[in-house]
Amino acid sequence: MNPLTDGKREGLEKLSDKNGIIRALAIDQRGSLKKMISDGENLANEKSLQRFKALVSETLTPYASAILLDPEYGWPAADVRAKCTGLLMAYEKTGYDASAEGRLPDLLAHWSVKRLKNRGADGIKVLLYYDVDESPAINDQKQAFIERIGDECRAEDLPFFLEIVTYDARITDVLGEDYAKVKPHKVIEAMKVFSHDTYGVDVLKVEVPVNMAFVEGFGEKTIYTKEQAAEYFRAQSAATDLPFIFLSAGVSAELFRKTLYFAKESGSRFNGVLCGRATWKDGATKFAKEGEKAAEDWLHNQGRENIESLNEVLQTCATPWQRAGRFAK
């Protein structure tokens, strides 16, 4: 078991609140955000992307322990974040080559962990699309890729956050019933893989283990009873001794809060969130359709309400990352 070094511990403390809860705001979206803030056929340009990210950062980081940004459009937003807010930087290229098999990842050509650290990053985030049942040849490439990043982060003594987005190569609709039936297996087994010391991961950023739209009492159709869903949340916690945080996956702010309460009631020991669209996506619509002032007003009101309501949930439901088995004293 790799001990937590001084540099990594310091980075995690900067990215979490005084209670050890990671209350992070995510706005490292690039291609998807460009579409969200585009006005009809007029695609958003670099300046628009930078400006919207900066608006979100300036308005909402006083209520977040950290912000996740990208080095392509995010530096202006990093510069205007609240002084008490840590900086997590994405290192991967956005998306993947859909014409190639396996959703293989790639890194930004002009950046390294050293360069991101020198620009002020307190931690590094990499997104990986992963199907535990994909061919061994594909998954071996992905595992080697993560090993290399883990070694970079070790060399620079910087925390490594691995975001795992699961899929099934045979199922096109990850929001549908077929994927909902296999999602617990996909999420939990992927967490087991990348919890191994060889990858150098410090925090896992993961999906909740079920599609809440198919949990009894949460949606119109039931695939999992409440008891089954609760067991999957407990199994997820048992799958790793690393800290892990939930991504919002674009669900509504209300559903995300309800999900976190359910996770806590089920016995999950999750350590916080890295929440993006659930906090600010309607502000992006305002920015596209009504302009900067309308977006800014929305962020100051509904956006702030979204993040403060989420913080109240986390205060009740999340567990300090220092209590994760790997790092507990």
pLDDT value at position 1?
Answer: 65
Which residues are bridge partners to 107 per DSSP? 92
pLDDT (mean) for 159-188: 97
Q: Assess if residue 178 is contained within a domain.
A: yes
Looking up tokens 């628009």, which residue turns up? Answer: 48
Query: In which band, very low, low, confident or very high, does the pLDDT at 141 lie, cut at 50, 70 and 90?
Result: very high
Answer whether residue 39 shows pLDDT above 80. no
Does residue 96 sit within a domain?
yes
pLDDT value of position 156: 98
Domain that holds residue 149: 6-323
CATH number at residue 32: 3.20.20.70
pTM over 0.85: yes
Does a structural domain hold residue 328? Answer: no
Does the structure show a pLDDT above 90 at 97? no
> How many domains would you assign to the chain?
1
State the pLDDT at residue 326: 83
pLDDT of residue 184: 98
pLDDT digits (tens, 9 = 90+) for 254-302: 999 999 999 999 999 999 999 999 999 999 999 999 999 999 999 999 9
pLDDT score of 54: 98
- Mean pLDDT computed over every residue of the chain: 95
pLDDT in tens, 59-74: 999 999 999 999 999 9
In a domain, 329, yes or no: no
Q: What is the 3-state secondary structure (H, E, C) of the chain?
A: CCCCCHHHHHHHHHHCCCCCCEEEEECCCCHHHHHHCCECCECCCHHHHHHHHHHHHHHHHHHCCEEEECCCCCHHHHHCCCCCCEEEEECECCCCCCCCCCCCCCECCCCCHHHHHHCCCCEEEEEEEECCCCCHHHHHHHHHHHHHHHHHHHHHCCCEEEEEEECECCECCCCCHHHHHHHHHHHHHHHHHHCCHHHCCCEEEECCCCCHHHECCCCCCCCECHHHHHHHHHHHHHCCCCCEEEECCCCCHHHHHHHHHHHHHHCCCCCEEEECHHHHHHHHHHHHHHCHHHHHHHHHHHHHHHHHHHHHHHHHHCCCHHHCCCCCC
Question: Do the domain assignments include residue 112?
Answer: yes
